[in-house]
Structure 1
Amino acid sequence: MSSKPYIRPKVAVPKFSEENGFYTTEQRSYNMSRIRSKGTKPEKLLKKALWHAGVRYKTPKKLLPGKPDISLKKYKLVIFIDGAFWHGYDWEYRKHAIKSNQEFWIAKIERNIQRDQEINAYYQLKGWTVLRFWDFEVKNEIGICLSLILEKMGLNDFTFR
């Protein structure tokens, strides 16, 4: 028996093109092009809360695997703020709500979920702690997110000013 761990095959994502039967309107294309991966409102909100708590963080300049939103090298901690749609929040329920281009979007989001798991495993293997927050958690429960980060940093006795 092999001692290598089982690695699931990557989810195949079909190329998004009209030739493959995928379509989009000009308005939808424009809307999707406006979605940012960096500098989002939840990201800015969490960074501001960390700064006010006295935590000095880095926004990684050198691309780290998985492109974490915040890295705290001293504490070996990486933080990701995941969009609920793109990273498959409540996926087993929500994937049935996708009505157009299902073949593409379901495969795309399932590959994102798989990649998130691979990135988590990579950092954990290196001895880092990975924290992932949903964008709506940061917006609605910033205090809980901040407390969890401070706890992972070993600053449990921090009191909010």
Structure 2
Amino acid sequence: MKKNKPYIRPKTAVPRFSEENGFYTTEARSFNMSRIRSKGTKPEKLLKKALWQAGVRYKSPKHKLPGKPDISLKKYQLVIFVDGTFWHGYNWEERKHTIKSNREFWIAKIERNMERDQEINAYYQAKGWTVLRFWDFDVKGGACIKRILDLLDFFL
């Protein structure tokens, strides 16, 4: 008897960012892009500081965990991500039409980031972990801290 394999949707292909493919950049743009951080962003620091002040002791993962979570609480099997609105596609269906230059690259890049976020969520959930994702602008409001503390109270 032949087993049915589950359908796996093909990943979005992101074209290489090179002049041969029609993508262009200036030295100034290249310098600016090299300064964009993936760790230690202001929203991430705000969330960490607020958690620490609330008495929540956490670790910034030293070992590379899948998806590189910003905060992990092993005791509660909880990972927290702070996603940037541009890079992770906030309000994507409306915003993708505003991209003017190198559209082919950026649309594919951001859509692949969104797919990867879903894959990482599924990975942790399959392992029994809880995944929290916050937009960078949500961190400033303080609702994130309340949600995290409510979840931790649930575990206790």
User: Scaled by the length of structure 1, what TM-score is found?
Assistant: 0.92
- Residue number in structure 1 paired with 2:98: 97
Alignment of 1:11-160 (within 5 A): 11-139=12-140, 141-142=141-142, 144-154=143-153
Q: Report the alpha carbon displacement of residue 3 of structure 1 after superposing the two structures with TM.
A: 5.1
Shift of 1:155: 5.5
User: What CA deviation, in whole Å up to 9, does each residue of 1:80-132 have, x standing for no partner?
Assistant: 00000000000000000000000000000000000000000000000000000
CA RMSD of aligned residues (A): 1.6
Consecutive aligned runs of 4 or more in structure 1 exceeding 3 Å deviation = 1-5
Change (3 A) 1:55 1:11: same
How far apart are the structure 2 equivalents of 1:80 and 1:5? 28
Percent identity, aligned pairs only, is: 78
Secondary structure of the 1:100 match is coil
Q: How far is 1:31 from its partner?
A: 1.1
Range 4-13 or range 119-128, more displaced: 4-13
The alignment's TM-score, normalised by the length of structure 2, stands at 0.94
Q: Secondary structure at the match of 1:8?
A: coil
- In 2: Cα distance, 1:94 partner to 1:87 partner: 11
Aligned residues: 155
CA distance in 2, matches of 1:75, 1:94: 36
SS of equivalent residue, structure 1 residue 59? coil
**Residue 53 and residue 4 in structure 1: after superposition, are their counterparts in 2 closer, same or farther (change >3 A)?**
farther
Measure, in 2, the Cα distance between the counterparts of 1:4 and 1:119: 21
Q: How many angstroms apart in 2 are the aligned matches of 1:127 and 1:148? A: 19
Structure 2 stretches lacking a partner, 5+ long: none
